[in-house]
Amino acid sequence: MTRRLGFIVESGTDVRLVDGFAERFDLTVLARRIVGGVEISQEPSLQFKKVVGPPSRLRFALSAARYVLKHRSEIDCWIVQGYALAALAANVACRLSRLPVRMLVCSPVEAYYRCRLDQPNLGLKYRSSELTVLRLLAWLNARLGAGYVVLSKHLGDVVRAHGTRRSIDTIPIYGVDTAKFRPPDIPTAAVKERLGLPTTGAVIFFSSRVAPEKDSETLLNAVRALCDEGRDVWVLHRSGGYEEFLETAERLGITEKVLATDAVHPVNDLPMDYQASDICVQASRAEGLGFSPLEALSTEVPVVAAAVGGLRETIVNGETGWSYPPGDVAALTNCLKEVLDNPGEAKRRAAAGRQMIIAKYDSQRVFERFEGLVTELTNKVRLRL
Q: Are residues 99 and 240 in the same domain?
A: no
- For residue 233, pLDDT over 60 is answered with yes
Helix count (H) and strand count (E) of the chain? Answer: 15, 13
Which range, of 20-24, 114-118, 165-169, 188-192, averages the lowest pLDDT?
A: 114-118
Give CA–CA dist 324/317, Å, rounded: 9
Q: How many CA atoms lie within 13 A of 282 on its CB side?
A: 28
- For residue 341, pLDDT over 90 is answered with yes
Assess contact for 92 and 121: CB atoms under 8 A.
no
Residue 150 lies in a domain: yes
Q: Are residues 371 and 351 in the same domain?
A: no
For residue 237, which phi and psi values (nearest 5 degrees)? Answer: -135, 135
Mean pLDDT for 79-107 is 97
Q: Are residues 200 and 338 in the same domain?
A: yes
Q: Are residues 356 and 223 in the same domain?
A: yes
Assess contact for 301 and 274: CB atoms under 8 A.
yes
- For residue 123, pLDDT over 90 is answered with no
pLDDT, tens digit (0-9, with 9 covering 90-100), for 135-184? 999 999 999 999 999 999 999 999 999 999 999 999 999 999 999 999 99
Q: By C-alpha distance, which of 119, 113, 69 is closest to 91?
A: 69
User: Using CB atoms within 10 A of its CB, is residue 24 exposed (0-12), middle (13-18) or buried (19+)?
Assistant: middle
Q: C-alpha distances in angstroms, 10 versus 42, 77, 163, 224, 340?
A: 16, 17, 23, 38, 41
pLDDT, tens digit (0-9, with 9 covering 90-100), for 261-314? 999 999 999 999 999 999 999 999 999 999 999 999 999 999 999 999 999 999
Q: Are residues 164 and 195 in the same domain?
A: no
Residue 375 lies in a domain: yes
Q: Are residues 229 and 91 in the same domain?
A: no
**Cβ-Cβ contacts under 8 Å for 357 (sequence gap 6 or more):** 176, 178, 294, 297, 298
Specify the number of domains making up the chain. Answer: 2
Q: Are residues 25 and 117 in the same domain?
A: yes
Domain enclosing residue 130, as ranges: 4-175+363-384
Q: Are residues 373 and 328 in the same domain?
A: no
Give CA–CA dist 80/30, Å, rounded: 9
User: Using CB atoms within 10 A of its CB, is residue 342 exposed (0-12), middle (13-18) or buried (19+)?
Assistant: middle
Give CA–CA dist 76/3, Å, rounded: 6
Assess contact for 311 and 282: CB atoms under 8 A.
yes
Residue 213 lies in a domain: yes
Give CA–CA dist 29/35, Å, rounded: 18
Residue 36 lies in a domain: yes
Q: Are residues 50 and 100 in the same domain?
A: yes
Q: Are residues 156 and 192 in the same domain?
A: no
Task: Record the pTM.
Answer: 0.95
**For residue 161, how many other CB atoms are within 10 A of its CB?**
12
**Cβ-Cβ contacts under 8 Å for 372 (sequence gap 6 or more):** none
pLDDT tier at 380, thresholds 50, 70, 90: confident
- For residue 249, pLDDT over 90 is answered with yes
Which pLDDT does position 288 carry in this prediction? 97
**CATH number, domain containing residue 269:** 3.40.50.2000
Which pLDDT does position 383 carry in this prediction? 62
Q: Are residues 26 and 143 in the same domain?
A: yes
Helices 343-360 and 291-298 meet at what angle, rounded to 10? Answer: 110
Residue 181 lies in a domain: no
For 118-135, give one letter per residue: b (16+ CB within 10 A) or e.
bbeebeeeeeeeeeeebe
Residue 180 lies in a domain: no
Residue 295 lies in a domain: yes
Which pLDDT does position 343 carry in this prediction? 97
Q: Are residues 23 and 170 in the same domain?
A: yes
Residue 182 lies in a domain: no
pLDDT, tens digit (0-9, with 9 covering 90-100), for 21-63? 999 999 999 999 999 899 999 999 999 999 999 999 999 999 9
Q: By C-alpha distance, which of 174, 98, 169 is closest to 372?
A: 169
**For residue 117, how many other CB atoms are within 10 A of its CB?**
10
